Amino acid sequence: MQRFYLPTEIITGCGSLSQLGRIAARYGRRVMVVTYAGFAQFSDTLSRALQALRHENLEVILYDNVVGEADLRTVEEGIALARKEGCQVFIGIGGGSSIDTAKAIAGLVTLPGSVWDYHAGRALEGPGLPFIAVPTTAGTGAEVTKNAVLIDPRTEVKKSIRDDAWFARVALVDPELTLSMPPQVTASTGADALCQAIESFTSIAATPITDALAMQAIALTGRNLLRAYKAGDDLAAREAMSMGSLMAGMAMVNARLGGVHGMAHPLGSHFHIPHGVICGLLLPYTMEYNLPYAMAKYAQVARLLGEPVEGLEVEAAAHRAVEHVRELMAQVGIPAHLSQFGVTEERFEQIAKESQSESLKHNPRPLGIEDVCNIMRAAL
């Protein structure tokens, strides 16, 4: 039996941010807006969002305390503020960290216990409150996923809290909001989107529905990332990246991911590597290791990326996909070696043990401890 589930209403299009107030008013009058610290200093997105909310006479509580990746302490403090202010609806504006923080606050604000308990494995006991996602990057797909990826700042362990009740009520995807992304953020978030699309496509849980989404996402992100990186004001490229990221998220929430994301979480946590950067770095090495187990699909990836593979044997076409991804990551400035971040072979076994997550279970090639070490060794 195959299952595809996505209850989120998706609104896309340039200028769609103007509808935020009308959308939020469906769910309550007291709105918590969750975003990055200092976000208002480099973009007018926040002021425009607040204006749209206040135009509908909504009461706004701004929580702009997200710094770096989403962590439990920030969620805990947000929950306390939301309870104090009686917030009824939550809006995450920004990248994956802002969206996941808002998602977790909304999901846990009505529940007993602490976020630390649920991160440690306590079962969720209720649906939480309505949550709206407004991505300003094109990469994480968090606007259409049911999990929040959170770091325990005490242990540096990164893992997800997930539940079907945690899907956003609405994902508002306005490509214009990504125009202010600097090149390095465009590169890292775009690398994450491409990685999600490829891993969803080659997942052992993939279905015809997720394949259709992932294939379109591969083509959109793979053919437009370099354009968006080189010319941030190229709105057509930004639109393609936003749609590709959205579709990759829709695919991954149903097909799941693979080895790259299994390794990315512990490596990113322990060595403070941005998530998209570590995904882009590991992707060609992991594809190469998976090649014997997913050759036909990687050959399709090559075609989707625009490689001229007509007439090539399947294996040769699959290798073209690996090399295309490797070259693309270099072109957008993604480092090629783990050693550039201080990773040493002495840490491999610890990282490999921590990587044995849900993501690895869906990788096309079974990945045990030694397999993960082999991939990291190649990437060192």
Same domain membership, residue 46 and residue 195: no
> Is the domain of 153 the same as that of 217?
no
Evaluate whether residue 3 is within a structural domain: no
pLDDT confidence bin for 358, thresholds 50/70/90: confident
Co-location of 354 and 233 in the same domain: yes
Range of the domain at 31: 9-178
Residue 80 lies in a domain: yes
Same domain, yes or no: 125 and 222: no
Q: Residue 1 domain-assigned?
A: no
Angle at 45 between CA 253 and CA 108, to 5 degrees: 45
Task: Assess if residue 77 is contained within a domain.
Answer: yes
Examine residue 266 and state whether it is found in any structural domain, yes or no.
Answer: yes
* pLDDT (tens digit per residue) in 303-326: 999 999 999 999 999 999 999 999
- Mean pLDDT score, 212-232: 98
149 and 32 in one domain? Answer: yes
The answer to whether 139 and 97 are in contact (CB under 8 A) is: no
CATH number at 44 reads 3.40.50.1970
Tokens 């600097």 appear where?
A: 182
Question: Is there a single domain that holds both residue 138 and residue 215?
Answer: no
Number of compact structural domains in the chain: 2
Examine the domain organization and report whether 140 and 264 are in the same domain.
no
- The CA-based angle 188-139-230, given to 5 degrees, is 55
Within this chain, do residues 205 and 172 fall inside the same structural domain, yes or no?
Answer: no
pLDDT band for position 131 (50/70/90)? very high
Based on the fold, state whether residues 64 and 153 are members of the same structural domain: yes
Question: Would 2 be classed as within a structural domain?
Answer: no
Q: Are residues 130 and 254 in the same domain?
A: no
Question: pTM for this one?
Answer: 0.94
Clarify whether residues 249 and 355 are in a common domain. Answer: yes
pLDDT tens-digit readout, 77-127: 999 999 999 999 999 999 999 999 999 999 999 999 899 999 999 999 888
| 264, part of any domain | yes
The CB density around residue 154, as the number of other CB atoms within 10 Å, is: 10
4 falls within a domain: no
Question: Looking at 178, 198, 220, which one is the last position of a domain?
Answer: 178
Alpha-carbon distance of 193 to 185, in angstroms, equals: 12
